[in-house]
Every structure is written in C-alpha cells, then in structure tokens.
Amino acid sequence: MEDYYQLKVYSRIHKLQNNIAIGSMPPHALVIEDAPEYLSDVLRFFSSKKTIKEAEVYLSENTNLSSKEINLLLNDLMENEIIVKSNYDPNNRYSRHSLYYEMIDTNAGDAQKILAEKTVGLVGMGGIGSNVAMNLAAAGVGKLIFSDGDTIEISNLTRQYLYKENQVGQSKVESAKKQLQLLNSEIELIPVCESISGEELFDNHFSECDFVVLSADSPFFIHEWINNAALKYGFSYSNAGYIETYGAIGPLVIPGETACYECYKDKGDLYQFSDNKAELSVNLNESFQAPSYGPLNAMVSSIQANEVIRFLLGLKTKTSGKRLLINSENYKIHEEKYEKKNNCLCSDIKCKYPSVVSVSNSEKQLHEVYIEERESDSFNSILLDKTMSKLVKMNKGETKILDIGCATGEQALHFANKGAKVTAVDISNDMLKVLDKKANNINAGSVKTVLGNIESIEINDKFNYILCNNILDYLPEINNTLRKLNALLENEGTLIITIPHPIKDGGGWRKEYYNGKWNYEEFILKDYFNEGSIEKSREDKNGETVIKSIKTYHRTTETYFNSFSDAGFKIVSLLEPQPISRVSETHPILFEKCSRIPYFQVFVLKKEDRYAI
Ligand SMILES: [Zn+2]
C-alpha cells in the first residue's frame, strides 16, 4: 500500500508576510523565511492525507516547477518533517492522546497498544484513587483492579467526582465499576470490595499488576505490606495523597532500581523520636480527620496518572525514588529524594524493566553537535579560545604542544599557525577528520593527530605545554592520568587543565519559554558536595536541548586541587573566564548564562620542583 503523508496534525501553520511559521513552542516550532509564493498552497494541500504521486500531480498542475524541482521540494518537506507519514484517524477515540504521544516522541500506535496490555491496581478508591482510575480508564489502560471497603458518603462528593448523589450509601468499588464502564466499555474492570487488613490483599488480588497506586495511609503497616508484595511480585508502585495542605506524589518504587520502603522507612518525621511501632501507630486525637480539598485531589491525581502512563510507556518518571510535595496555595514544588540502602530486602532484586534513561548514543551525539557548533557558537569559543591564546607563549626555539581532547582542533590550529608543533589527541574519529582537513592549510607549524583516549595512548615525547580541555570530567578516576601528564611535561613546561565549573555541574537552570525564547529564571545549586557520576544535558546556542543525557563525573574544586597536588603539580593560577560584552549581541542566550554563573575553571599548573627530573 502506498504511504500517505500529511502535515503534523498538531502544528499550527501561519503565513505571516514572507514567512511561514510552523508550530508554537520548541522543539516543534520552525520558521521558513522568504518562503516562495506557492509554498503556502502546497502546505494547505497536505492538510489532509496525500500520496506523493498525488502531490506531484498537484504541483505540476498548479506551479511552474520542473519535475526535478518538485522532487527536491517534496524531499525537503519530508526530510525536515514538515510532512510526515500519517495514519491519523480523527474518529479514533484516542486520537487526541495520540497527538500528544507523537509530540513527546513516542510512537502513538505503539503507545496505545502497550497501554491496552497493562494492568494497574488501585488501593483505595477515595479522592485520589477514583480520580486516577478515571484518567487511566479514559486513557485506555487495559485492566484496572481497584479495592476499597467503604460506601459512598455525601461528604465524599466534593472531590470523588466519579460518584453521584444517587449512589450515596452504595459500595465505592461497585459504583466505580459502573461509572468507569460507562466511560470506557473497552477495558476490563475488577472491583475488590475489601478494606486493607493485611498483605493477603495484595497476594489475592494485585499480584498480576504492572503498577499499583496506593492512596491510603492506614492501617499503619500498609506501606510494609505493599512493599513486600512489590518485591515478591515485581510490580512497581507509588504513593499519592496529601499532607495537610500539600499534595504528595511518590516516591515511585521500582523494585531493584529505586529505593524501596524498607530503604527509607526509618526516616519519617516521627521516627526521630521513637521507632516503637505501637507508639507510632496510635493517634491520640480520636476525631482526627485529614482535610481533603477537591482541586488538590485533582492535581495530585492528574500528576499520579501521568506518572503511571509514562511508566507504562517506558518514559522517564520524575517521581522515581522521589516524592514531590506541592504547595496547593502557590504551586511551589519541593522534591524529596530517597536513597537506596545497602543490604536492604531489595538489594538482590533484579529490575524487571529496562532502565528508562539511555546514555549509549550520547557521546556520538555530543561529537556531532560539537562539530556543528564549536567554531563560533559555543561556550568554548566564547570563553576559552582567547584565554588559552593568552596563556600559551611561543618559545624562541621549538614549542611543542600536546592538545588532549583537541576535538575539531580550533586551539591546535591556532597554535600551529603561530609555529608550534602540536600533537592533537581525541577519541572521536569524526572530529579528527575535520581537524585533518583544516590542517592542510597550516603555513607555519604542524599538527599531528592521534586517535585514542588519554588513559591508554602511548606518546614518547615531552611537551612545553599540555592542554587538557574538558576531559577530566569524563574520567571516573583521574590520579593516574594526572601522573601520566606530569611525565609527559618538560621540567619547565605548563599544564593547562580546563574543567566544567563544579558550581555549574552541581546544579542547573530553571528556564521557562515565553516571549518567543527561553528565559533563564534562576540557577539552582542542588548538590555541590555530592561527588560522583552525574547526568547533564546539552543545549544549543538558542537554549534548545540537543542532547538529553551526557554522563560525566562531578568533583569539588577542593578535590581537583588535591589531585593536582598529589600528582606533583603546583597551581600557578586559576581562571574563571567571563564573556566580553559584545557576546551579548551575537549570542544573547549563551551570554545570559555564562555572564551570571561560571562555566569553566582553568588551572595553570607547573611541576612541583621535587618532581622535576
Ligand atoms: Zn530497599
């Protein structure tokens, strides 16, 4: 069957003067400047599904384009994903959800099939459970199992929208089944009319679940029971509810991957006084009743339902190992992290689900993005090139430079052109190819490229300067590498090490999109002292995230300082480069970021005298 193509259904398209604006927000928005007259007609033509043949006929009848030009145009439209293969069916009940899945880069057809095969349990069908159930039923989750022993009370109706006045006095789960089936007749619904009395509830009813939402806080041991069952049957689960006027979502427990309840149970607010369960389980206020407010229930339920759907689809879930506390008055969100404990019940459990964050292709991606932007549109070009050029002085005789992590060689070429003999090392063949090409035009010194990483390459030479630019943060261990660099350096030589600034890597920007651009609201320093592997993203010069996850290692300045010293170096100077003001015009977003917080630390090091051989 021939493929059908169509504009992305979710993209608004406007012709504004000579421009055609497609979509409204990044990463989907696109502007075609100086668009030819016929283009808006062509786009309108693709408002509904068309074959490429139909498009060729239309274009040859309605424009003066040659058949070669028509081919090029159609290829351009496909390549830039302005038109895409379409099996969009507006009459499908999930069609609007499908558009959302497409926008978050999830195959919509697959997503709906995956959801249809999943089973979700809901323990508690009050304000949270009933609302989550409505969301999941509407979204087409194949099977819902839900338990509650209560009957509907008139005071429930402020927030348990599933139930109606004429159902007051009836069983919650039986009423829920009726209402949910009216909402979606294609899914299977299993009511369990039982209150929570022990772990058997999970054994008897929830063992087949892919995910369970717990929205009940009593009896006291409920958290232990669901956790034991989750570890036994391998299902993931999450808590959702509220604490006084705060909404609480999470932590989402994935057995074998995140912390489980046993990992963190002794850390509740009351455990600081006593871990005596008999005491902890008794509330002296016998008329205690938690406030429960409709809009807050709806907020918490919606976030929880979104987390469940994302989990089922294999997408990243914000609440994995974390609890979000939402202030219902100002919507500020506070995050609590739950760490895995060693030797916990969950330690030996293998995770049933593939890890949702994949970093495998990130290095290659990084190299591609780097090649595209390095020359003039990066923090490197704005902050480091001038700094380096000031730090490296040409000798009277020969100046030998080792450039480790040379990338596309901007610095190597700069110094070669001043007469230096540069040995340039990188792990990316693609980048070295770019450098080799440019090295043909050097008129003074020379550049020799070496493929490999600093930990394993062998170089039998000594250098006046070694440049080590943004390399150490990729290495889990740096002491051996530093000693190796010491051995490669001439006695009077200089080692220049650049690292991403530890303050920058200890936090992140909160950015919001408005006024047609990304706005950097505040930088949040989260965890400066916590060293070890981190994941960060990379943005282009417009603030678009171009790589979602790069794995590097974070160390404090003190750790770097001590490592340099241990490897036999003394620090001659330390620089934190700032952009010059002209950059604010050429690269406003890069300028905004790197003029407010430091992006690099540059250490200038010499051999400690006793190490000079
Ligand atoms: Zn655990």
Report whether pLDDT(531) > 70: yes
Ligand 1 midpoint to CA 124 (Å): 24
Ligand 1 midpoint to CA 423 (Å): 50
Confidence grade of residue 359 (pLDDT, cut at 50, 70, 90): very low
Ligand 1 midpoint to CA 216 (Å): 21
Mean pLDDT of the chain: 89
State the CATH architecture for 5-85. Answer: Alpha-Beta Complex (3.90)
Confidence grade of residue 513 (pLDDT, cut at 50, 70, 90): confident
Task: Considering only residues 427 and 51, tell me which one the structure prediction assigns the higher pLDDT.
Answer: 51
Report whether pLDDT(538) > 60: yes
Judge whether 108-279+288-337 and 363-501+554-607 match in fold. yes
pLDDT of residue 280: 81
pLDDT of residue 472: 94
pLDDT of residue 612: 54
Q: Per DSSP, what are the bridge partners of residue 466?
A: 402, 495
Q: What is the DSSP string of 354-422?
A: --S---TTHHHHHHHHHHHHTTTSSHIIIIIHHHHHHH----SS--EEEEET-TT-HHHHHHHHTT-EE
Q: Which amino acid would we find at residue 206?
A: F
Tens digit of pLDDT for each residue in 420-460?
999 999 888 888 888 888 888 777 788 998 888 888 888 88
Phi first, then psi: give them for residue 405, nearest 5 degrees: 75, 45
Is 166 within 8 Å of 122 (Cβ atoms)?
no
CA distance 199 to 232: 11
CATH of domain 108-279+288-337: 3.40.50.720
Q: What sign has the CA pseudo-torsion 194, 195, 197, 199? A: positive
Ligand 1 midpoint to CA 266 (Å): 12
CA distance 11 to 25: 10
Ligand 1 midpoint to CA 263 (Å): 4
Task: Considering only residues 555 and 546, tell me which one the structure prediction assigns the higher pLDDT.
Answer: 555
The CATH superfamily assigned to 363-501+554-607 is Vaccinia Virus protein VP39 (3.40.50.150)
Ligand 1 midpoint to CA 257 (Å): 9
Residue that has been written with the tokens 């808006």 in this structure: 40
pLDDT of residue 376: 64
**Stretch 396-425: mean pLDDT, rounded?**
90
CB neighbour list of residue 610: distance below 8 Å, 6 or more residues apart: 568
Whether the bond into 27 is cis, omega within 30 of 0: yes
Coil, strand or helix at 309: helix
Report whether pLDDT(373) > 90: no
Report whether pLDDT(353) > 80: no
Tens digit of pLDDT for each residue in 142-201?
999 999 999 999 999 999 999 999 999 999 999 999 999 999 999 999 999 999 999 999
pLDDT of residue 540: 83
Confidence grade of residue 357 (pLDDT, cut at 50, 70, 90): very low
Domain segments of the chain: what residues?
A: 5-85, 108-279+288-337, 363-501+554-607
Task: Considering only residues 123 and 2, tell me which one the structure prediction assigns the higher pLDDT.
Answer: 123
* Burial state string for 296-327 with b = 16 or more CB within 10 A and e = fewer than 16: bbbbbbebbbbbbbbbbbebebebbbbbbbbe
Ligand 1 midpoint to CA 221 (Å): 16
Report whether pLDDT(479) > 50: yes
Ligand 1 midpoint to CA 341 (Å): 6
Token pair, residue 587, equals 């690269």
Query: The sheet that has 333-337: what strands, in order across it?
Result: 188-192, 143-147, 119-123, 211-214, 236-243, 246-253, 322-327, 333-337
Ligand 1 midpoint to CA 120 (Å): 22
Ligand 1 midpoint to CA 258 (Å): 8
Ligand 1 midpoint to CA 228 (Å): 10
Ligand 1 midpoint to CA 322 (Å): 14
pLDDT of residue 235: 95
Ligand 1 midpoint to CA 145 (Å): 25
Q: How many CA atoms lie within 13 A of 356 on its CB side?
A: 14
Token pair, residue 136, equals 């999941």
Whether the bond into 251 is cis, omega within 30 of 0: yes
Ligand 1 midpoint to CA 265 (Å): 9
CA distance 589 to 404: 29
Phi first, then psi: give them for residue 109, nearest 5 degrees: -60, -45
Is 97 within 8 Å of 112 (Cβ atoms)?
yes
Coil, strand or helix at 221: coil
Confidence grade of residue 313 (pLDDT, cut at 50, 70, 90): very high
CA-CA distances (angstroms) from residue 458 to 175, 359, 455? Answer: 74, 29, 9
What H or E segment, with its residue span, contains residue 13? strand 13-16
Confidence grade of residue 356 (pLDDT, cut at 50, 70, 90): very low
Angle between helices 479-488 and 557-566 (to 10 degrees): 50
Token pair, residue 218, equals 């009593």
Ligand 1 midpoint to CA 225 (Å): 13
Task: Considering only residues 268 and 246, tell me which one the structure prediction assigns the higher pLDDT.
Answer: 246
Report whether pLDDT(568) > 90: yes
Is 407 within 8 Å of 379 (Cβ atoms)?
no
**Stretch 514-530: mean pLDDT, rounded?**
87
Ligand 1 midpoint to CA 304 (Å): 22
pLDDT of residue 611: 59
Q: Which amino acid would we find at residue 548?
A: K
Between CA 351 and CA 327, with CA 247 as vertex, the angle to 5 degrees is: 125
Ligand 1 midpoint to CA 578 (Å): 45
Is 313 within 8 Å of 141 (Cβ atoms)?
no
pLDDT of residue 366: 65
Nearest to 331 by CA among 204, 245, 259: 245
pLDDT of residue 360: 36
Ligand 1 midpoint to CA 524 (Å): 29
Helix, strand, coil percentages (3-state) for the chain, rounded to 5, are: 35, 25, 40
Tens digit of pLDDT for each residue in 87-132?
888 899 999 999 999 888 888 888 999 999 999 999 999 999 999 9
Residue that has been written with the tokens 């990729």 in this structure: 474
Ligand 1 midpoint to CA 351 (Å): 12
Ligand 1 midpoint to CA 25 (Å): 41
pLDDT of residue 564: 96
Ligand 1 midpoint to CA 249 (Å): 19
CA-CA distances (angstroms) from residue 308 to 205, 238, 430? Answer: 19, 9, 41
Cβ burial of 45 (10 Å; 0-12, 13-18, 19+) is: middle
CA distance 296 to 288: 19
